[in-house]
Structure 1
Amino acid sequence: DKRVDAIEQEKGKLAGQVETLNGKLSELENLKSDLEKELLELKRPAGGAQNKLATEHKEAFVGFLRKGREDGLRDLERKALQVGTDEDGGYAVPEELDRNILNLLKDEVVMRQEATVITVGGSDYKKLVNLGGTASGWVGETDTRSQTATSRLELIEPLMGEIYGNPQA
């Protein structure tokens, strides 16, 4: 009988420890899922809440282009500019000042004279380029029109990276 009581007592202790460990395990699982969500947001191009706002604006704009719907588009455009956040319109640099900065950069950095700088949110930027070849003709109002050549288009996908200079002193 004493052995059975001791076993029951030990069983009660172990059940308490198992319950404590299960609580800690569920807490760790919650922390892990929160961390995974944060990491997923960081891996997204232009990640986080700003990306959500940009997606909303893009959907509203596409709806306007395709079907002429303006519902909420103006409100989203106002939200996109935030005076308190520099990169969302808070800089408010006058146009003349902005041109001067760009001109100075072109004088200082030779690559800026040759390159077009485009800010993108990810590494999947593509651009359609017209290689030329479009022809035209000149005819009277009622004259027949012969077929002309069409332009050739090419899709370019630039490599993403950085150009740097590290001269020795």
Structure 2
Amino acid sequence: MTKELEHNFVELLEKHQNIVHKICRLYTNNQDAHNDLFQEITIQLWKAYPKFRGESKFSTWMYRVALNTAITLYRKSKRSIKTQDFDSVLFRIKAEEYDDTTEKQLSVMYAALHELNDIDKALVFLYLEDKNYNEISDTLGISEVNARVKMNRIKKKLRSILNP
């Protein structure tokens, strides 16, 4: 690969890295797992970058690669033994000590999102990123109608999780 290609990739990754961080936050429970997933997504983006044809925006392509990588790793991790994450225990203790409403609300939201399946998480993530249904359907490879129907079902499910 040429230096110019490498330079362009690094520049685009730096510009859009928040996309990857948000996806990592959605699919991981601690900083180590977040860092590992960020690294894996970066590797997959780098491997796929020479094939990026520019037919869509870089950010749309990045969403697709990052979500596919996260979903693949998430599915593999579901086959492993479940353990209690030490960081999340400390986080809960800290949240009870400090009256940080925003932190608690985010924690509740992420807990609810973690109950969704991997595709539904991706759909909610793109929706919260203010992507229109056309962009969501392109990124996830589903029809626009399917994206709308799924989103309505997810909203109902999240309401039932948050308001039992």
Instruction: Tell me if both proteins adopt one fold, taking TM over 0.5 as the criterion.
Output: no
TM-score (norm 1): 0.22
Indicate the structure with greater helix content: 2
Of structures 1 and 2, the larger Rg is shown by: 1
Give the TM-score of the pair, scaled to structure 2. 0.23
Larger RCO (CA within 8 A; separation ≥ 6): 2
